[in-house]
C-alpha cells in the first residue's frame, strides 16, 4: 500500500551523521543506473552522499514517522573545500579506485567521466551564487509536496542570505520536469560525459537556474 503524508507527522530538521545510510538508500533508489558501476550501489551512494556533504553548507532532511523521506543539500556560500574536506575527498577518491565501494572493471573510466561532467557544470555556472547540490525524495512520497517544501525552505534561506541566483545540474533520466514546474529555467544543455558513459549512448545534461 502506498504510504501517504496526510496521517503522518511530517517535520524538517538538519541532517545528522546517523542519516547517512537512509540518505544513501534513497539516492540508490533514485538513480538505479549507478548499478552499472557497482553491484554494491548502497556503498557507492554512501560515498556519493559523503562527497556531496563536503560541498554543502545547507543540509536538511524531511522525516515522516521518524524516518527520513527526503533531503536537500545545498551550497549557500561558494568556496573551495578546506583542508579536512580535501583529505576526505582524497580518501573517497582512492577508496573508489581501490574498489572499496564495490568491484568494477570500469571504475577508472567512470571516475574520469564524473570529473569531466563536474568540471563542465562548474565552468557553466560561475555566474550563479548558490547551488542545489543533492536533492532526493522517497519515490513513495513524491507528488505530495515534500520536494516543493524542501526547495521552498532552501529558497527562503537563500533570500535571508541575500543571494540572487540558484542553480542545479540534472539530466534526462532525472525528474527535471519538477524544476520547470517549480519555476526554474533551463540555462544550458551540454554533453554529459558521466551519464553517457553509464547509459552507453550520447546523453545531455541540463543546467537550471532560479532567480531569487
**Residue 148: CA count within 13 A, CB half-sphere:** 10
* Phi then psi dihedrals of residue 132, to 5 deg: -85, 115
Task: Tell me how far apart the alpha carbons of residues 117 and 157 are, in angstroms, rounded to a whole number.
Answer: 28
Residue 59 main-chain phi, psi, to 5 deg: -140, 110
pLDDT tens-digit profile of 67-90?
Answer: 999 999 999 987 766 666 667 777
Average pLDDT of span 87-112: 71
Residue 195 Cα distances to 31, 66, 182, 192, angstroms: 11, 34, 24, 6
Is residue 212 within 8 Å of residue 166, measured between CB atoms?
yes
Query: Rg for the chain (alpha carbons), in Å?
Result: 17
Q: In this model, does residue 149 exceed pLDDT 80?
A: yes
Q: What mean pLDDT do residues 121-133 have?
A: 95
Residue 171 has pLDDT above 90, yes or no: no
- What is d(CA 179, CA 184) in angstroms, rounded to the nearest whole number? 5
Angle ∠(92,135,81) on CA atoms, nearest 5? 40
CATH of 10-211, one of 3.40.30.10, 3.40.640.10, 3.40.630.30, 3.40.800.20: 3.40.630.30
CA distance 172 to 134: 16
Average pLDDT of the chain is 87
Give yes or no for residue 5 having a pLDDT over 50.
no
In the chain, at which residue ranges do the beta strands (DSSP E only) sit? 10-14, 58-64, 67-75, 131-137, 165-171, 185-191, 204-211
What pLDDT is attached to residue 105? 58
Q: What is the pLDDT of residues 10-55, one digit of tens each?
A: 999 999 999 999 999 999 998 877 777 767 788 888 888 998 998 9
Is 0.85 topped by the overall pTM? yes
Q: 61, 78, 174: which is closest to 126 by C-alpha?
A: 78
Helix-strand-coil split of the chain, %, nearest 5: 45, 25, 30
C-alpha cell recorded at residue 78 = 561558494
Q: What would the grid cell of residue 173 be? A: 533520466
Amino acid at each position: 500500500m502506498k504510504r501517504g503524508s496526510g496521517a503522518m507527522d511530517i517535520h524538517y530538521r538538519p541532517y545528522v551523521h546517523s542519516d547517512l545510510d537512509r540518505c544513501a538508500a534513497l539516492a540508490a533508489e533514485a538513480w538505479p543506473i549507478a548499478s552499472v558501476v557497482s553491484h554494491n550501489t548502497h556503498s557507492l551512494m554512501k560515498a556519493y552522499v559523503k562527497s556531496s556533504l563536503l560541498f554543502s553548507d545547507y543540509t536538511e532532511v524531511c522525516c515522516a514517522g521518524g524516518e527520513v523521506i527526503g533531503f536537500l543539500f545545498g551550497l549557500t556560500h561558494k568556496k573551495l573545500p578546506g583542508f579536512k574536506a580535501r583529505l576526505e575527498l582524497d580518501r573517497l577518491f582512492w577508496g573508489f579506485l581501490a574498489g572499496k565501494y564495490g568491484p568494477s572493471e570500469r571504475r577508472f573510466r567512470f571516475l574520469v567521466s564524473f570529473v569531466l561532467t563536474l568540471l563542465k557544470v562548474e565552468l557553466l555556472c560561475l555566474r550563479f551564487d548558490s547551488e542545489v547540490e543533492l536533492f532526493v525524495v522517497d519515490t513513495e512520497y513524491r507528488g505530495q509536496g515534500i520536494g516543493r517544501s524542501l526547495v521552498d525552505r532552501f529558497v527562503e534561506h537563500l533570500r535571508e542570505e541575500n543571494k540572487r541566483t540558484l542553480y542545479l545540474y540534472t539530466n534526462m533520466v532525472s525528474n527535471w520536469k519538477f524544476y520547470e514546474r517549480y519555476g526554474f529555467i533551463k540555462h544550458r544543455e551540454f554533453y554529459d560525459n558521466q551519464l553517457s558513459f553509464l547509459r552507453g549512448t550520447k546523453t545531455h545534461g541540463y543546467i537550471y537556474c532560479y532567480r531569487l
